[in-house]
Structure 1
Amino acid sequence: MRILLLAHGPSIHTRRWATALRDRGHNILLLTAHAGEDVGIPTRVVGSPSPVRALHYWSALGAVRRELSAFRPDVTVAHFLPNYGFLAALAQARPWMLVCWGSDLLTNARLSPLHRARARYVLRRAGLIHVDAAVLAEAAVALGAPLARVWTRPWGVDAGAFERAGEPRPSRNGAEAARLLWTRQLEPVYDPETFVRALGLLKRRGFTFRATMAGDGPLRASVEAWVREEDVTREVVLEGFVGSDRLRALHREGDLYISLSRSDSTSQSLLEAMAAGLVPIVSDIAGNREWVTHRQEGYLVPVGDANALACAIAEASTDPAADAYRARAGAAVKARASFADTLDQLEAKLDALAGSGSAP
């Protein structure tokens, strides 16, 4: 198929989708407002840079229409509703699929009546809407998306890339420092402050640990300050953004995975950690509850509760049921979140959409 992809060029998710579809023999053209790493995908940067983000994307509309006419795609795929989804709708792409990322429906669409109206406009014009969690499907339908056009399926992970090759994960008996892994960005929605505050509590209670925070973002300086305030500079390593090889190494070294999102759909980083055999300790929100039941695959903790998190970390480090949690978590990812299976389903969906060639 000829697939026109509208998405954020620098995103690792864009590169992953584009290269996977290309490797399956599809002809991909990426249109983006921001250039990313060259991975051999034909790319056009569209729009005129502007300090007003909306104007940047609005200025790309003419170029999108021209590429639709010149490239003549069998199907258009637009990632993230407020910008590329809106562009696809305004350009009257036919047929086209919207891929929602979570925050576009759970956060952005709720900012104002204008944001809500834009979301409704886009959702009603997409021929197919891909969401990665039930909570996101509910949000889409509440905003006016026809249920029949909503496809719920995790993006998925390559579970084999994260498994320990033939090596059983060593059990911990509390004598060694627990190895904690954080792989979310340092942004308010992921609540890194609660993590650092919990680490301070653990240290004051005599609990030994080593924590690695592999992520970056606008709260980097604040995180560094909180680490100093809690006197855990010796226990915490701030790695910043890491590449895929280093990320897999960190998964192999870790025991417990921590994610404290205040809002999320299906987290890719959670699926990766579950596939890698880490025990997840995550915030008790709808997106996480689709994958973790408390003391079944891991632990759920109240949003923003540092003491509850500290208690969960201490308990998980010596929990005799930890191996069972890991086994259930890994099995869930293999059964429900294989990236290869997602691609198989996606190709079938896109083929059917292209065959229909109809407007919603």
Structure 2
Amino acid sequence: DLLLLTAHPTPAPEVPERVVGRPWPVAALRYLSALGDVRREMRPFRPDVTVAHFLPNYGLLAALSGATPWMLACWGSDLLINARRSPLHRARARYVLRRAPLIHVDAEVLAEAAMTLGARPGRVWTRAWGVDTAALAPAGRCDGVDAGTAGGGATAPVRILWTRQLEPVYDPEPFVRALGELKRRGFPFHAAMAGEGPMRGRVADWIREEDLAREVTLEGFVGEERLSTLYRESDLYVSVSRSDSTSQSLLEAMAAGLLPIVSDIAGNREWVTHRRQGYLVPTGDKDAIACAIAEASRDPERGAMRTRAREKVAAEGSFADTLDQLEARLTALASLPPASGRRAT
């Protein structure tokens, strides 16, 4: 049996759901107000194991509620950004990490951050959540053909895909500026930006400033079907985030056969070695991004890089394999066979 406790109701929950806490406008108060509800819900449910996603809110609730045993699932910004904001944020992170019997992180950079903040090394499990590699397998892509060459030798636009949110951490401006530079060079391309966020208006302004209305499509939030179509129709994937753990969108793009061009940060270097599985570019460098896009489109090794990228995700980033490992970890954590009547929350 499963029970989902959340401060934010989901539109169509697939498992029994209880909304906890009060709708305070201040997030910290909203989650702290949920503590009593969490304890009341857990008492009759008697979970064998509790999984708390994201350290500052649900992780803290699990630690304060006395849940036992429980697993903390960290997602990146909770360790790389939130925990570094102030001494108070660091103290909260340390409090939660020291009390979690099992801590799941999806990248080595997160494991290092967790241990620096006080997590015991033996409790940290590093494994990417992974993607459905079979569903994303490229259909009909010929890695030996130039993405920018159409039948008969005519030059076709290189198709570029962005699937990150339009938020400061993902740094969309240098990407748009790089596209403007490519247009001024006469480089043919079309870019789709699939993502929403508070910077959408500014991104639209940059697109107008660079005269890219015909070359760039702001897709907004897209569903699974449209995203699958974008993967099939694209040649290059670009992500220039300033902070990341293992990016799900990067793994999806690699599994789908796109050649990745990503920022040279620790989370990306775990998946992309420069010119082995794709290209690494300095953060915030529009000229480097433009050069990488132009070079990648004609790189004679692009087919081999795509193949190596797919192989790496298949070997280390399969969602099915992660689920198998997760089940084994939770089973061990719950010390099966469980006590009578206990379940999971």
Return the match for 2:146 from 153, 171, 194. Answer: 171
Q: Secondary structure at the match of 1:57?
A: helix
How far residue 172 of structure 1 moved from its aligned partner, in angstroms, is 2.3
Match status 1:278 vs 2:252: no
Matches within 5 A, 1:32-181: 32-165=6-139, 167-168=141-142, 171-174=146-149, 175-181=155-161
How far residue 173 of structure 1 moved from its aligned partner, in angstroms, is 4.5
How far residue 244 of structure 1 moved from its aligned partner, in angstroms, is 0.8
Aligned residue in 2 for 1:311: 291
- Consecutive unaligned residues of structure 1, counting only runs of 5 or more, are 1-26
Tell me, in whole angstroms, the C-alpha distance in 2 between the residues paired with 1:165 and 1:262.
Answer: 32
Return the match for 1:218 from 193, 198, 209. Answer: 198
Q: Secondary structure at the match of 1:140?
A: helix
Quick check: 2:148–2:158 contact (8 Å CA) kept in 1?
Answer: no
Aligned residue in 1 for 2:342: none
How far residue 226 of structure 1 moved from its aligned partner, in angstroms, is 0.5
Aligned residue in 2 for 1:242: 222
Percent identity of paired positions between Structure 1 and Structure 2: 70
Aligned residue in 2 for 1:230: 210
Tell me, in whole angstroms, the C-alpha distance in 1 between the residues paired with 2:27 and 2:65.
Answer: 18
Tell me, in whole angstroms, the C-alpha distance in 2 between the residues paired with 1:244 and 1:153.
Answer: 24
Q: Secondary structure at the match of 2:260?
A: strand
Q: Secondary structure at the match of 2:250?
A: helix
- Which structure's relative contact order is higher, taking Cα pairs within 8 Å and 6+ residues apart? 2
- Consecutive unaligned residues of structure 2, counting only runs of 5 or more, are 150-154, 339-345
Aligned residue in 2 for 1:325: 305
Tell me, in whole angstroms, the C-alpha distance in 2 between the residues paired with 1:167 and 1:140.
Answer: 40
Deviation readout 1:76-96 (Å, 9 max, x if unpaired) = 000000000001001010000
Return the match for 2:166 from 186, 191, 208. Answer: 186
Q: Secondary structure at the match of 1:249?
A: helix
Tell me, in whole angstroms, the C-alpha distance in 1 between the residues paired with 2:140 and 2:238.
Answer: 25
Moved over 2 A (4+): 164-174
CA root-mean-square deviation: 1.2
Give the alignment's TM-score, normalised by structure 1.
Answer: 0.90
Tell me, in whole angstroms, the C-alpha distance in 1 between the residues paired with 2:47 and 2:140.
Answer: 44
How far residue 266 of structure 1 moved from its aligned partner, in angstroms, is 0.4
Tell me, in whole angstroms, the C-alpha distance in 2 between the residues paired with 1:88 and 1:193.
Answer: 38
Tell me, in whole angstroms, the C-alpha distance in 1 between the residues paired with 2:71 and 2:243.
Answer: 24
Tell me, in whole angstroms, the C-alpha distance in 1 between the residues paired with 2:57 and 2:245.
Answer: 19
Deviation readout 1:234-280 (Å, 9 max, x if unpaired) = 10000100011111110000000000110000000000000000000
Q: State the number of aligned residues.
A: 331
Deviation readout 1:172-195 (Å, 9 max, x if unpaired) = 255210100000000000001111
Give the alignment's TM-score, normalised by structure 2.
Answer: 0.94
Aligned residue in 2 for 1:13: none
Aligned residue in 2 for 1:23: none
Tell me, in whole angstroms, the C-alpha distance in 1 between the residues paired with 2:12 and 2:195.
Answer: 22
Match status 1:295 vs 2:287: no
Tell me, in whole angstroms, the C-alpha distance in 2 between the residues paired with 1:45 and 1:180.
Answer: 40
Quick check: 2:163–2:193 contact (8 Å CA) kept in 1?
Answer: yes
Tell me, in whole angstroms, the C-alpha distance in 1 between the residues paired with 2:264 and 2:2.
Answer: 39
Match status 1:335 vs 2:310: no
